[in-house]
Amino acid sequence: MNSVSPTTAQYVGVVMQDELLESQRQQRMERQSSLGLRPPQTPDPSREAPGEPDEMDKLKAKLMSAWNNVKYGWTVKSKTSFNKISPVTVMGHCFLLNSEDEVERFRLAFVSRIWLTYRKDFPQLEGSTWTTDCGWGCMLRSGQMLLAQGLLVHLMPKDWAWPDAQQLTDVDFEVFRPRSPVRAGGVPIPSFSSPRGSNTPEKTLPSDHGLKCSQRKRPESARDRQAESIHHKLITWFGDQPSAPFGVHQLVEIGKSSGKKAGDWYGPSVVAHILRKAVARASVVQNLAVYVAQDCTVYKDDVVHLCDTSPKKTPPDPLSQAWKSVIILVPVRLGGEALNPSYIECVKNILKLDCCIGIIGGKPKHSLFFIGFQDEQLLYLDPHYCQNVVDVTQGNFSPESFHCTSPKKMPFSRMDPSCTIGFYAQNKKDFESLCSAVSVALSSSKEKYPIFTFVEGKGQDYGLDSQSTNHSGPAAHILPLGQWCRSNNRSNSDEFVFL
């Protein structure tokens, strides 16, 4: 189906409005001139209130908001097929969907991830007229999901699953018995009922199905109640209110220091630095730091300096050393204009690790949060769905819209080469294990140069501001020199253009 791009719609609308305003202005001047009146003086832009959007900015924001709210406010439900032979990897956990129990484990693991999407009708972003992030905030939302996964690992019990996920019957996917591990076909095993809000009648389930579900549901213990309280609190931190420490309002405000503003598009590298600053500013999360790698290199001494909180005057004691947990974000580029296929196996091995908390990236012009894979298909959460704002300041708000019930896949070949990979280490021992395990995964690449490296020593702190410039830094060692020179002709190699 043919569609009109938001950019085209914006351009046509603005041009028409410009012509109308100019015509009205000329008519007023002609009338005033005939009456001998002085035309009104053009206001001095320097006298306007700082940070206040002009009329044209307001018009553009309204046009774009109206367009994007319609464009992303509906979705066509389609079931994603998974085969029974090949394992599915989700956040370091492996599921072989050849039994109902394994399918249920996969369902709970997927639905329990925090899903953050476009929202509309939230409080106006400061210095703009935007009350929605539809059409421009998808990378910020993907970054939020990456951080939310890190916080789940940091705060929740290791085996935690969202209790209400067990009551949902509209999880949208099918499992097939394929003719080959990479080609779905044959007869599906029973899937999870009809999509929410559809007219499709629910499938008749065996009479003992309800009994099995109740048996699987964990008892309401003090531990469960505490975990669910943390789960609700965590979601409030990503609420669409100015006070939320990791909400869009705060992230946009932090992005201003890099020359970004509401309505701009963000690259995965810039978002990594925004998340780092957001966590550093927040008082709601204790004992957690974010480290952003430089030049595809994780400098171990910098991580130690960031996380080691033991007194500096006393000799270090490995057994009693005070240590902050750390989220490590590594912006990388996996090719020139397109993904280098040699890195696919390496990305798979990274996603298999327990310490990996996902990848923010996407396909061209479309940001996504990658959480796993099956065969040659990436599994992802998609922020491109516009939902009404939820007032998370109300204690009884429903978290259902923050959990996705429709797993989606896409081929590795469509993955945009610009992305940021996330890892989590709870303590120093975990960090050392992370370095070792990730280095092994990186060595699986067929390319001469690894995606990124771990090295001893310290690196120069470039900070967030440098990410907003056109300077792309030293030639990244993930590409042969010829390819890098060709790709470096782009104005900013880590930026997407989102529509």
* Per-residue pLDDT reduced to its tens digit, 84-101: 999 999 999 999 999 999
C-beta of residue 6 within 8 angstroms of C-beta of residue 68: yes
* DSSP strand pairing (453-455 vs 325-333): unpaired
Determine the pLDDT at residue 231: 96
Return the number of other C-beta atoms located less than 10 Å from residue 245's C-beta.
18
Number of folded domains in the chain? 1
CA distance linking residue 371 with residue 422, whole number of Å: 10
**Residue, of 286 and 208, whose pLDDT is higher:** 286
Segment 106-120 shows an average pLDDT of 95
* DSSP strand pairing (288-292 vs 325-333): parallel
Determine the pLDDT at residue 365: 80
Segment 102-108 shows an average pLDDT of 93
Q: Which two tokens stand for residue 492?
A: 């900013």
The DSSP symbol for 41 reads P
What angle is formed at CA 183 by the lines to CA 416 and CA 353, rounded to 5 degrees?
50
User: Tokens 């099956």, residue?
Assistant: 374
Per-residue pLDDT tens over the stretch 36-91: 444 444 444 434 444 555 677 667 666 766 666 666 665 556 788 999 999 999 99
Q: Mean pLDDT lowest for which of 358-362, 381-385, 401-405, 464-468?
A: 464-468
DSSP string, 265-300: ---HHHHHHHHHHHHHH-SSS-SEEEEE-BTTEEEH
Residue in 110, 24, 26, 9 with CA at minimum distance from that of residue 69 = 9
Q: Which of 154, 249, 366, 384 is catalytic?
A: 384
For CA atoms 145, 150, 155, 160, give the dihedral sign.
positive
Residue 4 lies in a domain: no
Residue 463 lies in a domain: yes
Per-residue pLDDT tens over the stretch 336-374: 889 999 999 999 999 999 999 999 999 888 999 999 999
Residue 481 lies in a domain: yes
| Helix boundaries (H) for 365-479 | 428-442
Report field, pTM of the whole predicted structure over 0.85: no
CA distance linking residue 245 with residue 463, whole number of Å: 20
Concerning whether 273 is annotated as a catalytic residue, the answer is no
* Residue 337: strand pairing partners: none
Residue in 440, 113, 124 with CA at minimum distance from that of residue 133 = 124
C-beta of residue 84 within 8 angstroms of C-beta of residue 373: no
Q: Which of 302, 382, 416, 494 is catalytic?
A: 382
3-state DSSP assignment of residue 306: helix
Residue in 447, 430, 450, 428 with CA at minimum distance from that of residue 439 = 450
Determine the pLDDT at residue 201: 35
DSSP string, 44-79: PGGGSPTT---HHHHHHHHHHHHHHHHHTS-----P
> Range of 418's domain?
113-156+230-487
Residue in 410, 453, 419, 421 with CA at minimum distance from that of residue 435 = 453
Return the number of other C-beta atoms located less than 10 Å from residue 144's C-beta.
27
Residue 209 lies in a domain: no
Residue 319 lies in a domain: yes
Q: Which two tokens stand for residue 153?
A: 């690992």
Residue 347 lies in a domain: yes
Q: Which two tokens stand for residue 100?
A: 């109902």
User: Tokens 């922020």, residue?
Assistant: 383
Segment 234-238 shows an average pLDDT of 97
CA distance linking residue 405 with residue 27, whole number of Å: 57
* Residue 360: strand pairing partners: 369, 420
Concerning whether 296 is annotated as a catalytic residue, the answer is no
| 280: phi then psi, degrees, rounded to nearest 5 | -65, -35
Residue 39 lies in a domain: no
Concerning whether 384 is annotated as a catalytic residue, the answer is yes
Element (H, E) at 333: strand 325-333
Which residues contact residue 474 at a Cβ distance below 8 angstroms, ignoring those fewer than 6 apart? Answer: 295
Which residues contact residue 325 at a Cβ distance below 8 angstroms, ignoring those fewer than 6 apart? Answer: 154, 287, 288, 289, 307, 424, 425, 426, 427
CA distance linking residue 146 with residue 269, whole number of Å: 13
Q: Which of 133, 134, 138, 172 is catalytic?
A: 138
Which residues contact residue 43 at a Cβ distance below 8 angstroms, ignoring those fewer than 6 apart? Answer: none
Residue 468 lies in a domain: yes
CA distance linking residue 176 with residue 84, whole number of Å: 6
